[in-house]
Amino acid sequence: MSNRAKRIAHCGAAALAMVLMIPETEAQTAAALAGQLREVEIDPQASYRVRDLRLRKDDLSIYLNDGFLAFSKPVGGRRIFAVYHASETGDHAEVLVRPPDQGERASLARYTKSPILNEQVKEGVFISTDGSTEELLAAALESPATKPYPDMGMLLGSRMNSVVRNIGSSFQVRMVQDILADDPACGFFYAALSGTVLGNFDILFDPTNREQIVLGQVTSTPQGAGFNIWASFETRASRRRQSEPGAVGSLSDYRIDSVIDPDFSMMCTTTADFTPKRAVRGALTFEIAPAMEILSVSLDGVPVEVFRREAVRSRLMSHRSNEPFLIVLEKPMEAGRTYKIEFRHRGKVILPAGNNVFFVASRVNWYPARESGHSVYDLTFKLPKQLTVVAAGEVVEDKEEGETRTVRWRTPAPIRMAGFNIGDYEKTAVKRAGLTVTVYSNRSAESALVQRVPQVIMLPPAWVVRGGTRRPGELITIAPPPPPNPQARSEALASEISAALEWYAMHFGPPPLNTLTVSPIPGNFGQGFPGLLYLSTLAFLDEKERPEAARSNTLRLFYSEILSAHEAAHQWWGNLVGAATYHDEWISEALANYSAILVLERKNGARAADQVLDEGLRVLRMQYGGKTVEAEGPITWGVRLRSDSGIDPWRVITYDKGSWVMHMLRRRMGDQAFLTMLGELRKRYESSAVSTDQFRELAAEFSPKDLPDAKLEGFFDTWVYSTGIPTLELKTAVSGKAPKVQLTVTVNQTGVGDDFSIDVPVEIWPAGAKTPVVKWVRTSADGATVKVTLPRHPQRVELAPGNGVLAVRK
């Protein structure tokens, strides 16, 4: 009996006979399978009227109570598609999804008005490579209520074949891979459903993802298609197993040889080693930027088939900007054996910004990669000789031959990813405490920053009487200002970044590389790669040369102080210590931003750090869509908070609220314990990934055990998994005389929901005392009061001093 027959043997003789009519899969090319998928159609001979069928995927249940269910003709020997249709009065299906955690229930309620999805469905398209559609077929054939309806199958085919093909096109790469692998345990289930209340929505169940269930809705905006994730979570069953999807394997020992043509298109040959952790059959998946075309791939010197299709819907659901592609395996890969893979790819990821300034658009995904891993990189670039390329690591070759320049960079240690930058550069280097920082600055600023057109203005008319005549106003021409100097702050940047790296290394441990390359990028942002920073050109300019819009106190501080220290901190937070899922990426950004605030505090004093936090509080409380920005969602929603309209809630919540979360933890732990905790974070999760709950557990280890909420579960529930910024008012009353002075402290809370409650410290300084008395108060909607007996009258009573709580204080 075949493996496929064994899988459905429990379904009964009729079902088994039906399935065995499908021929076994023969060795096929990915292209041939994709051709079948593009032409897939409903099989009228596999169309039925069904009743009381159920499909369950952990926290997802679909009930086909009454209606018609039609299956597709086989693709690769398997029935992958099915269509449900309710055509008669009383026909309906029901979908039930119960997210297991508070944050995801709140997210679901935001879109559906309910924390649990319980929706009636009139129509749906099912796609599965995990055997779900075949299970439905077997269950239908076993049920005495099932009736064949070939005529309805023909009708559904005429209406739905094009819909099935269109939806299936977004999962074509994954379906081809799963058919070739023939491992249903690693397959997926997807449903596109039409609800009676919610309209069209999608559900994906994928056991290979860290979060197995994704629920949401495709959207259309002026900026293009998008996807609103209603909920995305790890199932209860997966949590009980306490196991994560294991990586198949990662690439190592990268060597990338690139030729950059005068039009700035790139031709690349990338070779890397791949060592599977377990046997791999059928195909192997990689990702690359959409702008890069895969020309060919060879495995141990033998050409292999490459299959790639744009996966719009699945890419939207995962928020990925990369495109997947497959290499088809002639025979299974053996676990533990190392294979050499060579990719040839080309594309245009370098965009000119004017004046020999360039923008590298695909900084992360310009070469093929898969899964998270660390590798050494050997990068060679051939390009026009007037330009140069910078990257991570050390320059091991830089020569000119005719009109071509060859630059080779090599990393002495494994790093998570490799970026590059290109330009006409001057460089400045600083060596400090065993670390070398080299700043490359453009010789000219990009066109957007250079004002070239002279201004012509008319002076007011002058009533000057000369010989009885009047003279009109005069036209004068004002020459444009000299172009900004993008090398103005190179030495300052090198010095500031070196000082920040030295301080970080003292507390967090050494960075991934002892060399750091700093380079400019057009725009108003920065990005920190292992061994390579991209900083906005504005960070290289003197403040007076920046555009008027970038000269506010907040932006001056950002470009002159915060940006470079933030991106430098990513050497630790994001590169050495990664994020388990997008839910956990806030940790890297919040720590990088707060690390920059710590550097600012060390340099300019506590007041400077407080000003940054106060500005963050102000922005978090700004109005956005009828509510505050902070109320848009918990910090763990990550990229789901992004918006292209005005304020970007993702940036504000991740950076500003994230910094406040770190600051509150620091105030709770104390400075030394907080820094020691960060050093342990790096040590414990170096070259791996940390989840939010793992970060909470680590922080709890370094928090005083005699404080309330010792495990920090309440702290994280309030500040990380929920929303809300309260207004707190402190009132005090004193009675009695020394040595038994009675102090009554009342904390009133407004501006948040009735269920909002936090622990806040109240610091009391009796007259003449060298140390304060600290009492913790648990706030509530009804107010909270504590009474303290003091030996003397209090000189000062302060609520959460040192910006110890994210709140407005009266």
DSSP 161-181: HHHHHHHHHTTHHHHHHHHHH
Average pLDDT rounded to a whole number, residues 445-451: 89
Q: Order the strands of the 773-778 sheet from edge to edge.
A: 773-778, 759-766, 794-799
Average pLDDT rounded to a whole number, residues 691-707: 96
What residues contact residue 754 under an 8 Å CB cut-off, 6+ apart? 781
The 3-state DSSP class for residue 702 equals: coil
Distance CA(314)–CA(174), nearest Å, equals: 9
What residues contact residue 664 under an 8 Å CB cut-off, 6+ apart? 715, 719, 804, 805, 806
Average pLDDT rounded to a whole number, residues 306-312: 81
The runs of H, that is alpha helices, within 670-731 are 671-685, 692-701, 713-719
pLDDT tens-digit profile of 507-553?
Answer: 999 999 999 999 999 999 999 999 999 999 999 999 999 998 899 99
Examine the pLDDT at 729 and tell me if it is beyond 70: yes
Distance CA(421)–CA(517), nearest Å, equals: 10
Among residues 633, 665, 492, the alpha carbon closest in space to that of 107 is found at 633
pLDDT tens-digit profile of 582-608?
Answer: 999 999 999 999 999 999 999 999 999
Instruction: Please report, to the nearest 10 degrees, the dihedral formed by the alpha carbons of residues 501, 506, 508, 512 taken in order.
Output: 50
What residues contact residue 588 under an 8 Å CB cut-off, 6+ apart? 570, 573, 574, 577, 578, 579
What residues contact residue 592 under an 8 Å CB cut-off, 6+ apart? 528, 566, 567, 569, 570, 573, 574
Question: How would you classify the pairing of strands 323-328 and 377-384?
Answer: unpaired
pLDDT tens-digit profile of 454-513?
Answer: 666 665 655 444 555 555 556 666 667 788 999 999 999 999 999 999 999 999 999 999
Task: Give the model's pLDDT for residue 17.
Answer: 39
Burial class (CB within 10 angstroms; exposed 0-12, middle 13-18, buried 19+) of 442: buried
Whole-number percent of the chain with pLDDT over 70: 90
Distance CA(15)–CA(131), nearest Å, equals: 13
Instruction: Please report, to the nearest 10 degrees, the dihedral formed by the alpha carbons of residues 496, 502, 504, 505 taken in order.
Output: 160
Count of all residues that appear for the chain in the document = 810
The runs of H, that is alpha helices, within 525-648 are 553-557, 563-569, 585-604, 606-620
The runs of H, that is alpha helices, within 39-122 are 102-112
Distance CA(383)–CA(786), nearest Å, equals: 71
Return the minimum-mean-pLDDT range out of 85-94, 469-478, 566-575: 469-478
Task: Give the model's pLDDT for residue 371.
Answer: 76
pLDDT band with cut points at 50, 70 and 90 for residue 647: confident
Distance CA(424)–CA(777), nearest Å, equals: 59
Task: Give the model's pLDDT for residue 19.
Answer: 40
Distance CA(49)–CA(66), nearest Å, equals: 8
Distance CA(79)–CA(47), nearest Å, equals: 12
Examine the pLDDT at 24 and tell me if it is beyond 60: no
Percent of the chain that is helix, strand, coil (3-state, to 5):
30, 35, 35
Task: Give the model's pLDDT for residue 473.
Answer: 57
The 3-state DSSP class for residue 210 equals: coil
Q: Are 187 and 178 in contact (CB under 8 A)?
A: yes
Task: Give the model's pLDDT for residue 468.
Answer: 52
pLDDT tens-digit profile of 225-246?
Answer: 788 899 999 998 888 876 666 6
Task: Give the model's pLDDT for residue 241.
Answer: 78
Find out whether the peptide bond into 739 is cis, omega within 30 degrees of 0: yes
Average pLDDT rounded to a whole number, residues 138-165: 95
Task: Give the model's pLDDT for residue 7.
Answer: 36
Distance of CA 797 to the CA centre of its chain: 42
Task: Give the model's pLDDT for residue 451.
Answer: 72
Q: Are 689 and 770 in contact (CB under 8 A)?
A: no
Average pLDDT over all residues of the chain? 91
The DSSP element (H or E) to which 97 belongs, if any, is strand 92-97
- Of the two residues 370 and 531, the one the predictor is more confident about is 531
Beta-bridge partners for 426:
441
Please state, as a whole number, how many other Cβ atoms lie within 10 Å of the Cβ of residue 340. Answer: 13
Distance CA(354)–CA(247), nearest Å, equals: 43
Residue for token pair 């009132």: 731
